């Protein structure tokens, strides 16, 4: 089982074919950042047309069993997620609506303070808000997974504690390996694992030690150390692959409509666009390199399978839909 815990590509037939070439069984795809509900619906419509146009390559998955059926049929299962809570606006009822439309992950924040919690880039982290607590409860009820990849430390620990079900950090790496602003502390990673949660390892260069020059060996060593910290059942891949996106998209991700001034996020004025991928992970055909790197690092076949997708599948089974 090969599952990627996060991508936001400039989707195309080419990319869907690369998923099949790479034997990718499922991908959690970001379908919006700062879009309000009505705009999110338009993004789902676009996915529905892709499902209709490429039925031999991709299909929409709402459950772990949908992923198994996709694998059996030789298709890549697509799981919808939001990188911000904009789609639910200020309306708790929209959580169930979005779940009915297929959403299975939602970040409570994207870098900034949201109505729910604090993002990783704010100076002050006040934890879950009043609305945030109600939303966590409702997400638990319907089976929409809380994702804290872009959230600040206290808010993340709050969410882990307040949520009655495991949460996810779909795309980030340990801060001890590379002190990227939104890579996660050992405190967070241990609490995440203890609550049954999942970490997806990111191959986005700003999250990597050495950025685009990061070696496969360094990446796999980091995975091995994180397996020691969290246990091998709580880790997976969340590549954060932004394939074929124009640089205008990273600007949308960072600034949305909340600022008239450019914010460079994890980048800088001199390095504002999407950074080049490391040579060992350029697109969906390269997951085999990581599996190979894990085996070279001493992971057994069974452990490698868990990290490459088995853990995500179990997590999907347990956390998509009502308990």
Q: Phi and psi for 151 in degrees, rounded to 5?
A: -100, 160
Of positions 23, 37, 233, 249, contacts a second copy by CB under 8 A: 37
- Radius of gyration over every alpha carbon of the chain, rounded to an integer in angstroms: 18
Of positions 44, 59, 191, 307, contacts a second copy by CB under 8 A: 44
Nearer to a second copy by Cβ, of 86 and 226: the residue is 86
Min CB(102)–a second copy separation in Å = 7
CA dihedral over 13, 14, 19, 20, signed as positive or negative: positive
Cα 248–Cα 250–Cα 251 angle in degrees, nearest 5:
65
Nearer to a second copy by Cβ, of 50 and 252: the residue is 50
Q: 127: phi > 0 → left, psi -120 to 50 → alpha, else beta; which?
A: left
Q: Does residue 169 touch a second copy according to CB under 8 A?
A: no
Min CB(41)–a second copy separation in Å = 6
- The set of long-range contacts for 35-43, using a CB threshold of 8 Å and a minimum separation of 24, is 35/86, 35/87, 36/86, 36/87, 36/89, 37/87, 37/88, 37/89, 37/91, 37/94, 37/97, 37/98, 40/82, 40/86, 40/87, 40/98, 41/101
* Number of residues near a second copy (by CB under 8 A): 17
CA dihedral over 54, 143, 167, 155, signed as positive or negative: positive
CA dihedral over 244, 5, 105, 179, signed as positive or negative: negative
Of positions 93, 246, 288, 300, contacts a second copy by CB under 8 A: 93
Q: Does residue 45 touch a second copy according to CB under 8 A?
A: yes
Which string of b and e fits 200-231 if b means at least 16 CB within 10 Å? bbbbbbbbbbebeebebebbbebbbebbebbe
Separation CA 5–CA 240 (nearest Å) = 8
Nearer to a second copy by Cβ, of 94 and 237: the residue is 94
Min CB(275)–a second copy separation in Å = 34
With contacts defined by CB under 8 A, name the span among 86-94, 278-286, 289-297, 302-310 that binds a second copy: 86-94
Of positions 13, 21, 56, 91, contacts a second copy by CB under 8 A: 91
With contacts defined by CB under 8 A, name the span among 35-43, 224-232, 236-244, 248-256 that binds a second copy: 35-43
Q: Phi and psi for 64 in degrees, rounded to 5?
A: -60, -40
Give the 3-state secondary structure of residue 145: strand
Min CB(51)–a second copy separation in Å = 9
Of positions 15, 61, 79, 101, contacts a second copy by CB under 8 A: 101
* HSE-CB for 224 with a 13 A CA cutoff: 16
Binding track, positions 102-141, relative to a second copy; x by CB under 8 A: x---------------------------------------
With contacts defined by CB under 8 A, name the span among 25-33, 89-97, 156-164, 281-289 that binds a second copy: 89-97
DSSP state of 79: E
Nearer to a second copy by Cβ, of 41 and 249: the residue is 41
Quick one: tokens of 239?
Answer: 């590549």
Listed residue (88, 108, 187, 190) closest to 149, CA to CA = 108
Min CB(101)–a second copy separation in Å = 5
Of positions 10, 14, 39, 49, contacts a second copy by CB under 8 A: 49
With contacts defined by CB under 8 A, name the span among 79-87, 93-101, 238-246, 275-283 that binds a second copy: 93-101
Nearer to a second copy by Cβ, of 40 and 156: the residue is 40
Binding site for a second copy (CB under 8 A): 37-38, 41-42, 44-46, 48-49, 91, 93-94, 96-97, 100-102
């Amino acid at each position: 089982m090969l599952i990627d815990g996060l991508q936001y590509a400039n989707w195309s037939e080419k990319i869907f074919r690369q998923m099949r070439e790479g034997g990718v069984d499922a991908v959690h795809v970001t379908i919006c950042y700062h879009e309000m509900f009505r705009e999110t619906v338009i993004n789902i419509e676009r996915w529905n047309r892709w499902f209709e146009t490429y039925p031999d390559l991709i299909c929409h998955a709402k459950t772990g069993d949908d992923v198994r059926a996709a694998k059996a049929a030789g298709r890549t299962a697509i799981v919808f997620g939001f990188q911000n809570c904009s789609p639910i606006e200020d309306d708790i009822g929209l959580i169930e609506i979005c779940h009915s439309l297929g959403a299975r992950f939602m970040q409570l924040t994207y870098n900034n303070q949201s109505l729910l919690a604090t993002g990783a880039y704010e100076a002050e982290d006040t934890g879950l808000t009043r609305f945030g607590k109600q939303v966590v409860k409702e997400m638990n009820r319907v089976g929409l997974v809380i994702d804290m990849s872009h959230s600040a430390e206290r808010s993340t620990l709050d969410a882990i504690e307040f949520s009655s079900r495991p949460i996810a950090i779909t795309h980030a790496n340990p801060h001890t390996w590379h002190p990227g602003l939104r890579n996660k502390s050992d405190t967070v990673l241990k609490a995440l694992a203890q609550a049954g949660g999942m970490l997806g390892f990111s191959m986005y260069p700003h999250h990597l030690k050495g950025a685009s020059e990061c070696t496969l060996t360094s990446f796999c060593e980091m995975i091995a150390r994180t397996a020691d910290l969290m246990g091998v059942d709580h880790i997976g891949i969340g590549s954060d692959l932004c394939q074929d996106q124009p640089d205008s998209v990273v600007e949308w991700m960072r600034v949305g409509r909340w600022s008239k001034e450019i914010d460079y996020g994890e980048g800088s004025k001199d390095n504002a666009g999407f950074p080049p991928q490391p040579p060992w992970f350029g697109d969906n055909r390269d997951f085999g390199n990581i599996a190979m790197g894990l085996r070279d690092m001493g992971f057994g076949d069974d452990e490698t399978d868990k990290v490459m997708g088995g853990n995500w599948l179990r997590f999907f089974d347990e956390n998509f839909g009502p308990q």
